[in-house]
A and B are shown apart, each in its own frame.
Chain A
């Protein structure tokens, strides 16, 4: 099963509203990353949060990490039409130096209605 599971699978909101997506994982991690994928394109890195960090900001993005609950959330404030995309979390499992332990979730499809 996937290490990272996003919730919800799909989200539709009005432009200007805030969008919140969640990611849960199963094992201890070194860090957690969020990526965005526009339709038909490759993934683009948004933000990385380390296991010893609780919150991180980047522009309109806010990421939180709760290692006790093994969960993270991505908040996009004041959404815009250009934010329409799929969002994936990726976890880097603690204790491994192998690249095979970066696991992507199945993603949240975000749609912004005008």
Chain B
């Protein structure tokens, strides 16, 4: 199993450009998450999905959109990138939130995004 994969690994954007980050998992997990990590800070949840076709806002959703058309994929979109969105983005997945034993999150390697 590849686990959780993210593409691309690095990206540089100009202010106002758009892009989509792709997250894929092959563990048949129900839940998927997008986080951003900024220097000296923990992870902050952007959006999450509890199943195919469903998405919800996390702690810092402004400026981002997501889609979960297939169970194994979770896309994060930036419609008009801003320098404040310069960050490292991590995708994660977990089986479910209902059973405390099952909500261990499995993380991708991250995407380093710079917005100029």
Q: Which residues of A contact B (CB under 8 A)?
A: 2, 4, 30-31, 33, 35, 40-45, 48, 50, 88, 90, 92, 97-100, 102, 104-107
Contacts and interface: CB of A to CB of B under 8 A. Distances in A.
A4 B42 CA distance: 9
A90 B109 CA distance: 18
Interface stretch (B13-21, B54-62, B63-71, B75-83): B54-62
Contact of A92 (B31, B50, B103): B103
Nearest to A3: B42
15 contacts: A31-B103, A33-B105, A35-B107, A42-B109, A43-B90, A43-B107, A48-B101, A92-B103, A97-B97, A99-B45, A100-B48, A102-B45, A104-B42, A104-B43, A105-B42
Interface in B62-116: 90, 92, 94, 97-98, 100-101, 103-110
Chain B interface bracket (under 10, 10 to 19, 20 to 34, 35 or more): 20 to 34
A2 to B, nearest CB: 6
Given A41-B110, A99-B33, A107-B42, A48 B56 contact: no
Contact of B105 (A43, A98, A100): A43
A114 B104 CA distance: 32
A97 B98 contact: yes
From A30, A98, A102, A107, residue with most partner B Cβ within 10 Å: A102
Nearest to B32: A99
A45 B104 contact: yes
Contacts of A2: 42
B41 interface: yes
Contact of B42 (A44, A88, A98): A88
A31 B94 CA distance: 15
A26 B44 CA distance: 17
B48 to A, nearest CB: 4
B43 A43 contact: yes
Contact of B100 (A31, A45, A98, A105): A31
From A2, A41, A92, A104, residue with most partner B Cβ within 10 Å: A104
